[in-house]
Amino acid sequence: MSWTRMQMAERLVQEFQDGWVVNLGVGMPTMIADVPMGDRDIIFHAENGVIGYGAVCAPGTEDLNLVNAGGQNVVLNPGASIVHHADSFALIRGGRMDVTVMGAYEVSANGDFANWKLKGAKGGGIGGAMDLAACAQRVFIMLEHRTRDGASRLLPRCSLPITAAGVVTLVVTDLGLFAPMGEGFALRDLAPGVTLEEVRAATACPIIA
């Protein structure tokens, strides 16, 4: 028993506050734009300068010149605006993002995370991740708790080259919701049917419950 990716997205969305500007990264975080926000007014920002976008377009209704950070054709919500890349990242560096939600390979108890380069690779993919990680008010990470080989992605320290140091606020995995606390992760919520013992067995550093 654990959370599906959509349930992970829904759990993170519970943390969003009314009026937040939310930047969504590529991959799993794009699902967040499909989660109902209730009566909260949330503005989605995409790094390519789209402010106030919404759901992915139904087939046949796309504007091919309008994409989110993941290259998906999306709709504009009423009140949307578009700026160029330098202004988009000025908004990011200027601290206007209440939160950025990103995928990652690893996250560590000291608040570092790694999502741009694999071990032994010559090339990598940074995109906007380093700017967002360094400058957003909060950094939420979505990732599977373990690799396909069963190794913990929650670590005392990252083994891969990091994207930013000491910035992670919250981590949602298929097993629960966590906050990095320096030497371990504080458990904030458990996925249904998952026990504390299972989480501890799946994690390579202390879980503070």
Give the footprint of another protein on this chain (CB under 8 A).
Answer: 26-27, 46-50, 62-67, 69-71, 73, 76, 82-86, 88-90, 92-93, 105, 117-118, 121-131, 134-135, 161-166
Q: Which is nearer to another protein, 103 or 206 (CB)?
A: 103
State the catalytic residues: 47
> In the sheet that 43-46 helps form, which strands lie side by side, from edge to edge?
74-82, 50-56, 43-46, 21-24, 99-103, 139-142, 168-172, 176-180, 185-190, 207-208
Q: Which is nearer to another protein, 117 or 188 (CB)?
A: 117
Q: Which is nearer to another protein, 50 or 205 (CB)?
A: 50
* Least distance between another protein and beta carbon 9 (Å): 18
Q: For 119-124, which contacts have Cβ atoms below 8 Å and span 24 or more sequence positions?
A: 119/159, 119/160, 124/161
Q: Which is nearer to another protein, 130 or 179 (CB)?
A: 130
DSSP letter (8 states) at residue 13:
H
* Least distance between another protein and beta carbon 84 (Å): 5
Token pair 């930047």 in the structure block, residue: 23
First to last CA, the chain: 19
* Least distance between another protein and beta carbon 24 (Å): 14
Residue of 75, 131, 54, 188 lying closest to 180 (CA atoms): 188
* Least distance between another protein and beta carbon 82 (Å): 6
Handedness of CA 52, 6, 178, 155 (dihedral sign): negative
